[in-house]
Structure 1
Amino acid sequence: MADIKAVLPGDVMDTGAAARDGAVLRLGPGLVQADERTSAAAAGVLHSDGDLWWVAGNRRRYVAAEGEPVVGVVVARHGEGYRVDIGSAHDALLPLLAFEGATKRNKPSLAIGTVVYGRVVVANSFMDPEIECYNSHTGKSEGYGELAGGFMFKCTLGLARRLIGSTAPVLAALGSELPFEIAIGVNGRVWVHAEGPEKTVLAANAIRNSEYLDAKQCRQMVKELLAR
């Protein structure tokens, strides 16, 4: 993780170093670009990880941003696709053909309440967000799609981003003790699936309890949960 500093709405970001390196910046939540200037749209801590920049604050509601992975729940179906609750102010649209290998004759049929893992492809103030359950650039699912079985739970937006990044020792601690599958959405929703409901709930509890623990504390917590 690179530079970290507190910012307020209207603060202009110094992106000169990234521009000199030839990187094309990807702006996450809390940042906007206008007149070739990147500025903060929310108060919080500025994070930069490679070419991705975002502001992490104490925001409770998720604000969709293009390219971000999200875990959502299908809440309605219409002629062109589904409406998916991703925890933002508006439900996201999920087109019927936004799946790997989907065609007009071969389309997935999702029931109301189905949990899906997708990536945001449309996010602006003029339209409802839109997601897809595959990577349209590669044509591959890359882990996106319907999440069958398992258990979905909510966590803070800050913890969700740390789980995706390289600062989540709880995942390493869990992985050394038991096999499990996980899908992490930056919208503060996590889906986890382990062998049997007891281990699935154990993994979920460990992740939720890890927010303010360091690597050593995470390892100790996981061992204590397994011992119970």
Structure 2
Amino acid sequence: MNASEGDVVVPGDVVQLPAKSGGKLILGPGLMKVREEVHVTKCGVLRKGGNHIYYVDSRQKKYVPAKGECVLGVVTNARGEMFRVDIGSSDEASVSYLAFENATKKNRPLINVGDVIFGKLLVASKDMEPELVCVDSHGKKGRLGVLPEGGFLFSCSLNLVRKILKPTCPLLETLGKELAYEVVVGMNGMVWVRTNSVRETILVCNAILNMETLENHQIEHAVQELVYQLSSC
């Protein structure tokens, strides 16, 4: 079938994507190239992201690791030179102590069980366990690494994560106009939030969780309503 953005697709469908001038298309979750054809591997809606990325948008709850995606995880164990990280997938991810900025054999990063890590998937395959890295190609951590203490980590649907990360979604910007907060969003459906008080943290978490079924023009009003309810308590 010749599917276009917004079409409903099912496993086994063969989609014909437009050719990208000067390079190749990037296939995201739900799409797989078999010889010269692009096959659908799960039910959902065909979507187009930035930089000629195509993927299948589905309401799945279990995260399937995809190479290059940034995810949040909790350190569960430390074995020798590797740390084990729960990223919400069927298998725990691993990350080497050398995968952090300025890390050497003599200068190991201070990481404890229970710490929250924001990393990028370096390896993601059905035949291998996921592997994380917390530096970019230049060895700089940027936004990656161990997150500071005092934050709150919670889970939401993968569909909601993709929604709030879209440039057209006004949620995070609208919240920033009402209160000061920090937020880190992982493509694995985990969100980390830190504010100045427990009440504000609850407000931000509720605002994010309640936005899944709202349209963009409804979000600003919904956030203002939550802020009003918090101030009147």
TM-score by length of 2: 0.90
Q: Is the 8 A contact 1:151 1:201 kept in 2?
A: no
Q: How does 1:9-24 map to 2 (within 5 A)?
A: 9-18=11-20, 21-24=21-24
Aligned amino acid, residue 116 of structure 2: V
Q: How does 1:32-181 map to 2 (within 5 A)?
A: 32-49=32-49, 50-135=51-136, 137-148=137-148, 149-181=150-182
Aligned amino acid, residue 68 of structure 1: E
Which residue matches 1:210? 211
Look up the SS of the partner of 2:163 in the other structure.
helix
Deviation per CA, 1:158-200, whole angstroms, max 9, x where unpaired?
A: 0011122224321121011122211111111001112222212
Structure 1: how far apart are the matches of 2:216 and 2:130?
A: 36
Return structure 1 stretches of 4+ with deviation > 4 angstroms. none
CA shift, 1:16, in A, is 3.5
CA shift, 1:151, in A, is 0.8
Structure 1: how far apart are the matches of 2:84 and 2:67?
A: 17
CA shift, 1:123, in A, is 0.6
CA shift, 1:35, in A, is 1.1
Structure 1: how far apart are the matches of 2:12 and 2:81?
A: 39
Structure 2: how far apart are the matches of 1:162 and 1:106?
A: 39
Structure 2: how far apart are the matches of 1:167 and 1:60?
A: 24
Q: Is the 8 A contact 1:5 1:45 kept in 2?
A: yes
Structure 2: how far apart are the matches of 1:88 and 1:133?
A: 18
Structure 2: how far apart are the matches of 1:106 and 1:168?
A: 41
Q: Is the 8 A contact 2:19 2:25 kept in 1?
A: no
Look up the SS of the partner of 1:182 in the other structure.
strand
CA shift, 1:53, in A, is 1.6
State the percentage of identical aligned residues. 41
Structure 1: how far apart are the matches of 2:105 and 2:14?
A: 46
> 61-70 vs 21-30, which deviates more?
21-30
Look up the SS of the partner of 2:47 in the other structure.
strand
Match status 1:188 vs 2:189:
yes
Runs of 5+ consecutive residues of structure 2 not aligned to the other structure: none
Q: Is the 8 A contact 1:11 1:39 kept in 2?
A: yes
Match status 1:225 vs 2:226:
yes
Structure 2: how far apart are the matches of 1:25 and 1:66?
A: 15
Look up the SS of the partner of 1:220 in the other structure.
helix
4, 7, 28: which one aligns with 2:6: 4
CA shift, 1:97, in A, is 0.9
Please, what is the CA RMSD of the aligned residues? 1.6
Q: Are residues 216 and 34 of structure 1, via their aligned partners in 2, closer, same or farther at CA, if it must alter by over 3 Å?
A: closer
Look up the SS of the partner of 2:171 in the other structure.
helix
CA shift, 1:147, in A, is 1.4
CA shift, 1:77, in A, is 0.8
Aligned amino acid, residue 125 of structure 1: K
Structure 2: how far apart are the matches of 1:126 and 1:5?
A: 31
Structure 1: how far apart are the matches of 2:72 and 2:168?
A: 20
Q: Is the 8 A contact 1:23 1:51 kept in 2?
A: no
